[in-house]
Structure 1
Amino acid sequence: MAFSLSNLALRAIPGAFILNSGYGKLNLDEQTAGQLQSMAANAFPAVKDLDAETFGKALAYSEFVVGGALVLPVVPSRVAGLALGAFAGGLLTMYFKTDEMTEEDGIRPSQAGTAVAKDSWIAAIALALILQSKGKKKNKKK
């Protein structure tokens, strides 16, 4: 499998960032895990049923899976892009369903929402990985 420099940039940088984020969440204290769980519950009410520690561990491990898929070159770009897209979709769902994160128009980020709104870049990277992979398959068939 050829691995281009553009693929390396699209995968390694966000992958390392997400892996580090997951590593940082492995030993969350109960209060911090509870705050993250509360934010996630705006978009996904079912997470309220978990205890905060379980939620924190699940979040950390999911970030390990997504980050690992991105940095491991044996994972096809399209698969890594789909994993990253699902992850970004969850973050953006939380952003749009939390009133405090957007201005009155429901789109532009408020001061509190800027940190999460930047995750739209993650969605763009995911889309690039998915579409880039599709383009290579079309060229091979010709």
Structure 2
Amino acid sequence: MKLPIKPRTLPGRLATGAFILHSGLEKWNGGEEQAAGIHGMAANAFPFLKSIPPRRFLRLLAAGEIATGAALLAPFVPTALAGAALTGFSGSLVALYLRTPALRKPGSVWPSQAGIGVSKDVWMLGIGLGLLADAATERQDS
């Protein structure tokens, strides 16, 4: 049986998939304080999220992370689908970073001390875009 992934995509899929899956599992049973903090940051960047209760938001975020991480780790999930999931997920994190001034140095895209943890999500976006590019060029070669 031929798997729909190439060995060259494995390092990025394994590293990001394991990281995101672990993050989602950690959030799944998160407490009120964690829910309020994560929801507050997200709702400040994306005001439409204010209408979602913090605990529900945290559970939805965790489910999204678990699904994205599992898709990246599952060898039967095509590279294009895994890349789209990672690009969408990490793109939203990069948007959160860009929409939260306290995470960046004044007048800059470079992270402040508080933004280091979120700014690294740009690497996941790069990996996701790389997976999409790999899938697109694979189809062109066929």
Q: Is the structural similarity TM-score above 0.5?
A: yes
Structure 2 CA distance, aligned partners of 1:122 and 1:65? Answer: 16
* 1:43 equivalent in structure 2: 45
Where in structure 2 are there 5+ consecutive unaligned residues? none
Offset, 1:4: 2.9
- Residue type matched to 2:120 in 1? K
* 2:76 equivalent in structure 1: 74
* 1:16 equivalent in structure 2: 18
Percentage of pairs with the same residue: 37
Q: How many corresponding residue pairs?
A: 140
Where in structure 1 are there 5+ consecutive unaligned residues? none
TM-score between both structures, scaled by the size of structure 1: 0.94
Kept after mapping to 1: 8 A contact 2:5/2:79: no
User: How well do the aligned residues superpose, as a CA RMSD in angstroms?
Assistant: 1.1
Question: SS state of the match for residue 36, structure 1?
Answer: helix
Kept after mapping to 1: 8 A contact 2:4/2:76: no
Change (3 A) 1:9 1:91: same
Q: Report matched runs for 1:52-131 at 5 Å.
A: 52-131=54-133
* 1:139 equivalent in structure 2: 141
Structure 1 CA distance, aligned partners of 2:108 and 2:101? Answer: 7
TM-score between both structures, scaled by the size of structure 2: 0.94
Structure 2 CA distance, aligned partners of 1:100 and 1:139? Answer: 45
Kept after mapping to 1: 8 A contact 2:86/2:128: yes
